[in-house]
Structures are given as C-alpha cells and as structure tokens.
Amino acid sequence: MLDKKAKQKIINKFKIHDADTGSTQVQVAILTEEVTQLTDHLKRHKHDHSSRRGLLKKVGERRRLLKYLQKEDENAFNDLAKKLKLKIAKKMIEDEQEKLRKEQELLAKDELKVEEEETGEETGENAEAKDE
C-alpha cells in the first residue's frame, strides 16, 4: 500500500490537468508502483499467498485499464508505456497488430471470393449466350 506522499508524487507526475486524480494514466501509474512494491515484498516472503492474490488482482486491473487506454487514446497509451517502462504494453501492441493483420487477411480473402463469384457469373453468361 502506498503512503499519501508517494501517491501524491505519482499523481503530480502523471496528471493530465490540475485537478486530475483519477484519470486512466494516473490509475495505471499508481497500480504500477503498487505492483512493484508487492513484487519486492513477495521476493522476501515467498509464502504470503494473500499478498500474491492481491498482486494478481492489481496486475489484472492494470491490464484492463491499459487495454481501455490503448483503445481510446493510442498516443497516451504509448507515452505512458514508455514513461513506466512496461513490458506488458509491448505485448499488447504486438497482439493488437496481429489482430489487425488477421482482419486484413480475412477481408482480402472475402474480396477474392466476391471477385471470383462475379467473374464466374460473367463467364456463365457468356457460355449461355454462345449456346443460343
């Protein structure tokens, strides 16, 4: 758990405007610091399962917030990932690029099918015209 001074320092560093205390960027920065502290704690206390559960919950929450930020504001997401040096952000970017690539492949395949059907209909019409 962060003390008030540390939390306020993080808020001041990542805030978007003067009264900002709960923007996505601030929440992710706070969660990142808490994850770091819990990770250090768990290195010393390997059998502290309740803290491990708390760590997993915080990591999951941070991941959801990062996914939301990536979807809503890609530039802010990239900037935050660089500032916090997040490894997970790199993976999320790669996953997003892979998803876009697969969607483009599917669209290309659908376009080819449509073109083949259209050319097939045209050749069928030509064959019927020759029969008459």
Same domain? 68 vs 125? no
3-state secondary structure of 3: coil
- Cβ atoms 2, 30 nearer than 8 A: yes
pLDDT score for 86: 86
Residue 24 shares a structural domain with residue 65: yes
SS3 53: helix
Same domain, 46 and 96: no
Q: What does the alpha-carbon distance between residue 51 and residue 34 come to, in Å, rounded to a whole number?
A: 11
Residues 9, 74 within the same domain = yes
pLDDT band at 8 (very low <50, low <70, confident <90, very high): very high
For the cut 80, the answer to whether the pLDDT of residue 90 exceeds it is no
Domains: count for the chain: 2
Do 56 and 12 fall into the same domain?
A: yes
Residue type for position 8: Q
Containing structural domain, residue 106: 89-132
pLDDT at 128 over 70: no
pLDDT tens-digit map of 64-84: 999 999 899 989 998 998 899
Note whether 67 and 123 are same-domain residues: no
Q: Are residues 99 and 51 in the same domain?
A: no
CA distances from 69 to 18, 72, 123, 125 (A): 20, 5, 51, 53
Give the pLDDT of residue 64.
Answer: 95
Rounded Cα distance, 104 and 126, in Å: 33
d(CA 54, CA 35): 9
Whether 63 and 113 map to the same domain: the answer is no
Residues 27 and 75 grouped into a single domain: yes
pTM score, whole prediction: 0.71
Q: What sections of 16-86 are H helices per DSSP?
A: 24-44, 49-72, 74-84
Kindly report the CATH number assigned to the domain that includes residue 6: 1.10.287.10
